Amino acid sequence: MTRTVTANIALTLDGRYHGPGGPADVAAIVPYATTEVARNHLARIHANATTAVLGRRNAEGFLGFWPTVAADDNADPRDRAYAKWLVDTDKVVFSTTLTEAPWERTRLANAPAAEVITELKADGEGEILVNTSPSAVTKDLLAADLIDRLYLLITPEIAGGGAHLFTDGLPGSQWQLTGRESGEHGEIAVVYDRRR
């Protein structure tokens, strides 16, 4: 039996994962990251995952933030549970520049994402979570039809510029809605399973 590959990302109404100012322009996403819906969504994404997959930029950013949440007794329990999971789980970080793993329990990968994920799927147990790494990993896996579940947090804003997750050239595919939750600010957390 092969492992399930899931991917998590927040998108604006116009399908962007960052604004026109580049990867650091997440003004249309950040205000919704700590809502009840977002935190419930965060609890779902790692519930069955035993491997986290990240691009280098996200791995370095997460390293500066999540370990402090794991150690914070006053943090929301859902945030803290996710942070502890991320620190303690096996991680694969895609990078062409790193020579040393940035975290414990981390393996560096400098190979095509589809190749590495195909190997991971065939070995071990539990889900493989591709965590908020659109340009380095998720787009390549969508192109190779290797993602089995999408966890999307849709924010009620139009960024008006920035990078899209779903770009021209992806192969056509069908997805089934298997979960949804909406919040008081207009954010929607959805779960789509690949229909094969």
Residue 100 has pLDDT above 90, yes or no: no
In the chain, what are the domains?
Answer: 38-148 (3.40.430.10)
Residue 144 has pLDDT above 70, yes or no: yes
Q: How confident is the model at residue 1 (pLDDT cuts 50, 70, 90)?
A: low
Model pLDDT for residues 156-193, shown as the tens digit of each residue: 999 999 999 998 899 999 999 999 999 999 999 999 99
135: exposed, middle or buried (C-beta count within 10 Å: 0-12, 13-18, 19+)? middle
pLDDT at 135: 83
Residues 149, 194 contacting (CB under 8 angstroms): yes
Please give the model's pTM, rounded to 2 decimal places.
Answer: 0.94
